Structure 1
Amino acid sequence: MNGTDRRATIRDLLQSRPLSVAELAQRYGVSESTIRRDLSRLSESGEIVRTYGGAVSSAGEEQPLQERELLARREKEAIARAAEAHAAGGGLVLLDAGTTVGALAARLAARGGVTVATSGLTSINELAGVPGVELIVLGGTVRRLSLGMVGPLAEAAVARLTARAVFLGADGVVAGRGICEARPEQAALKELMISRSRSVFVLADAGKLGREESYWWAGFEAPWTLITDDGATDRQLAPFHADPLCTVEVAEVGG
């Protein structure tokens, strides 16, 4: 196998899982220095991302929030409409960071009469100063890509709350496993939000169902509700319907 063909197959393999230099060298029967040169060329072209001792597919990179705002906008609006009914009714609601949860925050701002605690700057911008909205801002370190607050300050604030409901976003959601995120501090904050809330809702468009490119997970040990859009196929939804802890709600996007 020549170098061009080897690099093409390496790129394809990395779409399934991260691989180390040693694994790749053994697989192709070449030296580790040869693999490192292959990975450097693939990285320079933007096809992969180098990691310590190996590489991952660039398809698994976390997108900046500004880019994610442009994706599946109609689907996110439909999910937010469906979630709004669950956010009404008094009591404190927790809002995660992210664009879909931000769409819910915009609807709550128009509605008023809610108490919201949030770690997302998108939701804060929608809700700050709105009459009829009591806004609690969770402190912490702001992540540049997600514009969400994480870390010990955010976790300490959540630990002092009891929420009627939490609305979570995710990089991906997998039935029986949970929601995945790019960084451990994101997953840790979500797990704490789940533990401090009576009802749990995950807002995820169809493109996120079954996705597990990110490495850090927050799982579910109690009942939760998935709210997705009507672009989700029966095959995508089947594992969630089979999960005894999960209730599936499908939002109609419309024309």
Structure 2
Amino acid sequence: MSGEGRRQEIRNLLQVRPLSVTELAERYDVSESTIRRDLTRLSESGEIVRTYGGALSSGGEEQTLLERESVARAEKSSIARAAEAHVKDCRLILLDAGTTAGALASRLATHHQLAVATPGLTSVGILAGMPGIELIVLGGAVRPTSLGMIGPLAESAVARLTADAVFLGADGVVAGRGICEAQPEQASLKQLMVERSAAAYVLVHAEKLGRESSHWWTTFTRPWTLITDASATEAQLAPFRADPLCTVELADAFG
């Protein structure tokens, strides 16, 4: 295959999901340096966005919840297992919308004497009616892509409580900068959730490390914990380890 043909295929593949340099090199049986040159050319033309260790599409529609559920299922499960350990001494937590948060909600369903406040309809469906859970729904306008609620109604509810911890998902996370989202209302709600919580945890699988494709940011001005899966490379993790506010926790893939 010619270089141009390979780059065209890479463009199409990245429309489906982000890919790493290693994955692409194995797929096309070429060196990683060749793939890096391909990605550099594509990023220079604005067709893709480079991330630590790979790339993602710079355009296209936001993935639906169903599409996200099929991505990195094992990794999200391991992250949820690691995050659950931080719920042990909590009485009230804030739980974000999204598929990784939903994986954590499934693990919380058997907990007792725990209040969970969430804008995520996925987590609401999992936790509603669980005898040991006091479920607080942060109502607002529903985003069809994530089934998460946003806007002034959700923010007003968050402003009236304090939580022991918040567990956040994200489109991407960048050391020293924070987490990014597709809409300003999402970033605004997450910022308030952080401010109203004693501890903050960001739950993202490795492909989202260093990703900054979305335009709206939630920042951290005090300590927070990044929980990611064991496939994260040291190159991806190094900026977070160097961030004095960030504690890095790798989820054990084998539980």
Per the TM superposition, whether the score is higher than 0.5 is yes
- Please give the alpha-carbon distance, in whole angstroms, between the structure 2 residues aligned to 1:236 and 1:166: 24
* Residue equivalent to 1:149: 149
- Please give the alpha-carbon distance, in whole angstroms, between the structure 2 residues aligned to 1:93 and 1:183: 23
8 Å CA contact 2:42–2:48 kept in 1: the answer is: no
Output one character per residue of 1:31-61: Cα deviation in whole Å (capped at 9) or x when no partner. xxxxxxxxxxxxxxxxx8xxxxxxx523xx4
Output one character per residue of 1:179-213: Cα deviation in whole Å (capped at 9) or x when no partner. 00000000000000000000000000001000011
Equivalent position SS for 2:134: strand
Equivalent position SS for 1:110: coil
Equivalent position SS for 1:198: coil
Unpaired segments ≥5 residues, structure 1: 18-47, 49-55
- Please give the alpha-carbon distance, in whole angstroms, between the structure 1 residues aligned to 2:65 and 2:44: 27
Equivalent position SS for 2:155: helix
Aligned residue identity for 2:45: L
8 Å CA contact 2:91–2:115 kept in 1: the answer is: yes
- Please give the alpha-carbon distance, in whole angstroms, between the structure 1 residues aligned to 2:87 and 2:76: 16
* Residue equivalent to 2:220: 220
- Please give the alpha-carbon distance, in whole angstroms, between the structure 1 residues aligned to 2:124 and 2:59: 33
Aligned residues: 212
Equivalent position SS for 1:197: coil
Output one character per residue of 1:137-156: Cα deviation in whole Å (capped at 9) or x when no partner. 00100000010000000000
- Please give the alpha-carbon distance, in whole angstroms, between the structure 2 residues aligned to 1:233 and 1:193: 29
* Residue equivalent to 2:85: 85
- Please give the alpha-carbon distance, in whole angstroms, between the structure 2 residues aligned to 1:114 and 1:143: 26
Structure 1 residue 161 corresponds to structure 2 residue 166 = no
Q: How does 1:82-121 map to 2 (within 5 A)?
A: 82-121=82-121
Of the two structures, which has the highest relative contact order with CA contacts closer than 8 Å and spacing of 6 or more? 2
* Residue equivalent to 2:59: 57
Aligned residue identity for 1:104: L
- Please give the alpha-carbon distance, in whole angstroms, between the structure 2 residues aligned to 1:209 and 1:127: 29
Structure 1 residue 14 corresponds to structure 2 residue 46 = yes
8 Å CA contact 2:191–2:219 kept in 1: the answer is: yes
Q: Cα–Cα, structure 1 residues 11 and 75, in superposed 2: closer, same or farther, change >3 Å? A: closer
- Please give the alpha-carbon distance, in whole angstroms, between the structure 2 residues aligned to 1:136 and 1:208: 28
- Please give the alpha-carbon distance, in whole angstroms, between the structure 2 residues aligned to 1:161 and 1:132: 20
TM-score by length of 2: 0.79
How far off its partner does 1:114 sit? 1.1
Unpaired segments ≥5 residues, structure 2: 12-40, 50-56
* Residue equivalent to 2:174: 174
Report the more deviating stretch, 106-115 or 76-85: 106-115
State the superposition RMSD in angstroms.
2.1
- Please give the alpha-carbon distance, in whole angstroms, between the structure 2 residues aligned to 1:143 and 1:235: 34
* Residue equivalent to 1:132: 132
How far off its partner does 1:167 sit? 0.1
- Please give the alpha-carbon distance, in whole angstroms, between the structure 2 residues aligned to 1:89 and 1:225: 16
How far off its partner does 1:90 sit? 3.4
TM-score by length of 1: 0.79
Equivalent position SS for 1:135: strand
8 Å CA contact 1:180–1:212 kept in 2: the answer is: yes
Q: Cα–Cα, structure 1 residues 207 and 11, in superposed 2: closer, same or farther, change >3 Å? A: closer
Larger Rg: 1
